[in-house]
Amino acid sequence: THIITSPCIGTKDQACTEVCPVECIYDAGELFLIHPDECIDCGACVPACPVSAIFPEEDVPAGEEPFIARNHEFFGA
Ligand code: SF4
Ligand code: F3S
């Protein structure tokens, strides 16, 4: 899956939602989050985000690891 991290907070640009082919990016309040069971890892959302908030789960930068659990737990995964 892909993971949305802290730069989304306060930005919520939503360009990612427009390019996602499976519409698996949801408004979670202060940021958007990706449903891990629906994401097909196409990567289209990564360059679409103007604040570079989205990463493949295995490439989440140091310090942003708490957002991995946040993306999973929001959807009960
Ligand atoms: Fe959607 Fe593809 Fe991004 Fe997954 S990687 S959230 S399927 S655009
Ligand atoms: Fe957030 Fe970037 Fe999408 S700011 S809503 S992850 S385009």
The CATH number of the domain holding residue 8 is 3.30.70.20
User: Model confidence over 13-72: pLDDT tens digits?
Assistant: 999 999 999 999 999 999 999 999 999 999 999 999 999 999 999 999 999 999 999 999
Q: Rounded to an integer, what distance in angstroms lies between the CA atom of residue 47 and that of residue 55?
A: 10
Given the structure tokens 């891990």, which residue do they identify? 36
Pocket of ligand 2 (CB under 6 A): 4, 8, 11-16, 32, 48-49, 51, 53-54
Structural domain count, the chain: 1
Query: Which residues constitute the domain of residue 14?
Result: 2-74
ipTM of the shown complex: 0.98
Ligand 1: list residues with CB < 6 Å: 2, 19-20, 22, 24-25, 34, 39-45
pLDDT digits (tens, 9 = 90+) for 24-40: 999 999 999 999 999 99
pLDDT-based confidence at 77, cuts 50/70/90? low
- The pair of three-digit structure tokens given for residue 39, joined into one six-digit string: 């994401």
Gap from CA of 13 to ligand 2 centroid (Å): 5
pLDDT digits (tens, 9 = 90+) for 3-16: 999 999 999 999 99
